Copies of this chain bind each other. A is one copy, B any other.
Amino acid sequence: MPPVALALVHHPVRDRSGAIITTAVTNLDVHDIARTARTYDLAAYYLVTPIEAQRVLVERILAHWRDGAGARRVPERSVALSICVVVPTLEAAVEHMAARAGRSPRTFVTGARAPAGKRVLDGAEARSRMSEAPSLILFGTGHGLTPETVEAADHVLAPIRSGASYNHLSVRAAVAITLDRLFGEGGSQLRSQGGD
């Protein structure tokens, strides 16, 4: 299986009104999403922000947990955070992954609603595409990725709960559910444990 990575995009993303903004990186997004990405065997977790001070901050968090006092106290956190890569732009994430994998990744965008005029892939179709080439799954912070980012992507993943009356998952929950649908073994692996 070629490598799969995810990118958490802090710019460009939309706010409530649709305006393009840059959101702040939060400590918990670093930790929670790294743990989820590592649990589902992703090759990398790209934190994308153009704000240099925020990249410096994240690098400091990573150093503490990868090599510093945090790594000694909570070794499994070091394992999760070892896959984090901090980059200024989405293009830089794509280039970093291409350099590592030897070829450019295909990009897959996510969102709470299916974009008009674009075909969305269900889990089986997405896994099939991901088996062919390196893949980078994009998640937007704020109120989601911009129409330009969606338009430029190779593929669109189906929304998680577009039919629900209430549909406001956090990006942390959306990442967890998306990776589980794509790469989780569901009940199958677990059924075999029953009864012991």
- A residues sitting closer than 8 Å to B (CB atoms) are 28, 31-32, 35-36, 38-41, 76-77, 79-80, 114, 116-117, 119-124, 158-164, 166-170, 172-177, 180-181, 184-187, 189-191, 193-196
Pick the residue among B39, B116, B181, B196 that contacts A166 (CB under 8 A).
B39
Q: What would 26 A/B residue contacts be, using CB atoms closer than 8 Å? A: A31-B170, A35-B173, A38-B168, A39-B161, A39-B166, A39-B167, A39-B169, A77-B168, A114-B190, A119-B194, A120-B190, A121-B194, A122-B191, A122-B194, A158-B187, A158-B191, A158-B194, A159-B193, A160-B180, A162-B190, A169-B176, A173-B173, A177-B177, A177-B184, A180-B180, A181-B186
Please give the distance in Å from A188's CB to the nearest CB on chain B.
8
Q: A32-B172, A158-B187, A173-B32 are contacts. A194–B120 as well, Cβ < 8 Å?
A: yes
Chain B residues positioned under 8 Å from A170 (CB to CB):
31-32, 35-36, 172
Asked whether, in the complex, the Cβ of B193 is within 8 Å of the Cβ of A39, the reply is no
Chain B residues contacting A158 (CB-CB under 8 Å) are 187, 190-191, 193-194
- The CA-CA distance from A36 to B189 in the complex, in Å, is 25
**How long is the Cα–Cα vector from A128 to B184 in the complex, in angstroms?**
22
A193 contacts which chain B residues (CB < 8 A)? Answer: 114, 120, 158-159, 162
- Residue of chain B at shortest CB distance from A166: B38
Contacts of A117 in B (CB 8 A): 196
